[in-house]
Structure 1
Amino acid sequence: MTLLTETARAKVNLTLRVLGRRADGYHDIESLVVFADCADTLTLTPGPGLSLSTGGPGAQDCGEMSDNLVMRAARQLGERIPGLTLGHFTLDKHLPVAAGIGGGSADAAAALRLLARANGLASDDARIADVARETGADIPVCLASKACTMTGVGENLSMLDVPSMPCVMINPRVGVATKDVFAALGLGKGELLAGVGDVILSAGWPADGASFDEWIEAIGRGTNDLEKPALKVEPVVGDVLSALRATDGVRLARMSGSGATCFAIFETIGDAGQAAKTITQAHPGWWVHAGVLS
């Protein structure tokens, strides 16, 4: 059968509010999510059995193959659909792991898209959506891989028309466990950070066709509630934000997800490129990407 390929784009949380912690221990969030033009690549050779091999600069960070999110998502889909054609996955890993940009989730989402193509399943097949939700909180948004608001524990998506934004993304090559950041946030089960009234009164996002400046203003009114606890877990996040905010042409800088990756939005592609060059020279050990969010 023909080799199939999917791109697993990095997710960036432009805003992230933690509304509270539910009785089951999960956290309810409200996040504006976009996707970057940096990505992993996943291929599938359909066939009997299920296996995964890795390559690329991040291959050594992928951990045990059997526990990889690609394998977990594929196994779960196979359990739901008798006779599902699986095969051999090859992951070309470029995105940093445990980085707050959904690298593993994007890989798993790409695996589900590949299996849908190999088996003639509709992209909106309910069984694929169920596996995405059950395998990881960020997998549903990565399955869509489009600008949207994400609410609940990540399962509720509402698509948005967001303009392209020049950006620089930085990871200091320090992994940060999401569970450690939420632990540092310190919410007890059933505890709220935001009341219903706060959510109802929160500003909506700009209408379709709104300008870059309107979006920057709206995003600037937001926050990432995980930034403060992430700084306690890994103070280098503060160094990354300081480096981004010191560059020319920067309009906004913030941490993505639970960190440690941070991003900055710039006025122009040229400003982003120059900022990336300057930061790379000052911090050669950091992962730095200049590109576009959309």
Structure 2
Amino acid sequence: MVQISAPSARVELARAKVNLALHVTGQRSDGYHLLESLVAFPQIGDRIAVEAASAFELVLEGPFARNLDGPSSDNLIRKAVEAFSEAAGLSVPDIRITLSKRLPVASGIGGGSSDAATTLRLLEDYTGHYFSENELHRIALSLGADVPVCLYPETQIMRGIGDELSAGPLLPRCGIVLINPRVVVSTPEIFRAMTKRDNPGLPKTPERFADLEGLTGYLQSCRNDMQPVAAELQPDIVDVISALDGDDRVQFARMSGSGATCFGLCEPKDTMDIERDIRARHPDWWIASGPLT
């Protein structure tokens, strides 16, 4: 095995993946569901740091670290390191990876997938071993269907089981407020409860949205096909959407992914005030805000 030198530490934000629209369009014979989704990556996420150490070590900290239960061998970051090392022909590097877990776990905003994808990018920089785009995509897909889209945190359109990616439209300057009522919704349970899976795909997207009104107008013509079922299974989602819709500064609200995190779009100047005001009324909710672009 080739050994690597010990370069300087690397730190990166593992951005949340927000499904601005999510259409379930079918189901394969192997059980995987087909989808079309417009995804974006706000400046909100976990923090991952990679630095030299005497042996490989994964350190978990932050407000949601305690929710990463189960054996450490199941952690997607550890799996990403092992998959990267095997594909690169390297020993598992002597590094310390510190994950500051700021995003809720299993909350519909791709936290674990983004952590894994960010780890792969950091390892490329740290080791100096860079894969082709196709090979990096293959490694990412081996870790989960949502990992490839998180490799490049830019607006994208996902198709297939999430593995078919294309560039999304340019977004306007926009703020986003993310809210999770600190409840977990089971994605398999949602799919089992869905009565219709062959829904129409996304409407055609423009190359760019000139302003927030154009973006919200397009999103009004789209759906999250998982939201109605998720809201039945977990009524707190309805309360979150109502809180966002009830604020005149929020121009559009919807659930992301399989929930229970919901988002509200607004003018950038309003994000912190909306977060503060909703937090005052619902101190038990997780709330974060920032730029969408």
- The normalised TM-score by structure 2 is 0.90
Bigger proportion of residues as strand: 1
Aligned to 1:138: 146
2:132, 2:42 → 1: CA distance? 23
Q: How does 1:6-85 map to 2 (within 5 A)?
A: 6-46=12-52, 49-64=55-70, 65-85=72-92
Aligned to 1:155: 163
CA pair 93-220 structure 1, distance change in 2 beyond 3 A: same
Cα deviations by residue, 1:103-123 (Å, 9 ceiling, x for unpaired): 111111111111111222336
Give the 3-state SS of the residue equivalent to 2:136 in structure 1. Answer: helix
Match of 1:165 among 168, 171, 174: 174
1:103, 1:4 → 2: CA distance? 19
1:249, 1:104 → 2: CA distance? 31
Cα deviations by residue, 1:201-259 (Å, 9 ceiling, x for unpaired): x5311223633322221111101000011112211111111111001222111000000
Cα deviations by residue, 1:25-57 (Å, 9 ceiling, x for unpaired): 111110000011111111122467533111111
Which consecutive aligned stretches of 4+ in structure 1 deviate over 6 angstroms post-superposition? Answer: none
2:203/2:222 contact within 8 Å kept: no
Structure 2 residue 106 is the aligned partner of structure 1 residue 105:
no
What is the count of residue pairs matched by the alignment? 284
Q: Which moved more, 1:115-124 or 1:136-145?
A: 115-124
1:77/1:127 contact within 8 Å kept: no
2:88/2:129 contact within 8 Å kept: no
Q: Which moved more, 1:222-231 or 1:40-49?
A: 40-49
Query: How far is 1:150 from its partner?
Result: 0.9
Could you list the runs of 5+ residues in structure 2 that have no partner in the other structure? Answer: 1-5
Aligned to 1:265: 265
Structure 2 residue 260 is the aligned partner of structure 1 residue 253:
no
1:49, 1:138 → 2: CA distance? 29
1:110/1:143 contact within 8 Å kept: yes
Give the 3-state SS of the residue equivalent to 1:5 in structure 2. Answer: strand
Structure 2 residue 194 is the aligned partner of structure 1 residue 185:
yes
2:56/2:92 contact within 8 Å kept: no
Query: How far is 1:137 from its partner?
Result: 1.5
Give the 3-state SS of the residue equivalent to 1:36 in structure 2. Answer: coil
1:209, 1:251 → 2: CA distance? 15
Aligned to 1:92: 100
2:212, 2:243 → 1: CA distance? 23
CA pair 259-151 structure 1, distance change in 2 beyond 3 A: same
Query: How far is 1:81 from its partner?
Result: 2.6
2:117/2:147 contact within 8 Å kept: yes
Give the 3-state SS of the residue equivalent to 2:85 in structure 1. Answer: helix
2:209, 2:219 → 1: CA distance? 16
- The normalised TM-score by structure 1 is 0.90
1:206, 1:28 → 2: CA distance? 23
2:47/2:101 contact within 8 Å kept: yes
Aligned to 1:288: 287
Could you list the runs of 5+ residues in structure 1 that have no partner in the other structure? Answer: none
**What code does the residue aligned with 2:69 have?**
G
Give the 3-state SS of the residue equivalent to 2:190 in structure 1. Answer: helix
**What code does the residue aligned with 1:12 have?**
V
**What code does the residue aligned with 2:163 have?**
E
Query: How far is 1:16 from its partner?
Result: 0.1
Cα deviations by residue, 1:118-165 (Å, 9 ceiling, x for unpaired): 222336443321121121111111111111111111111111212231
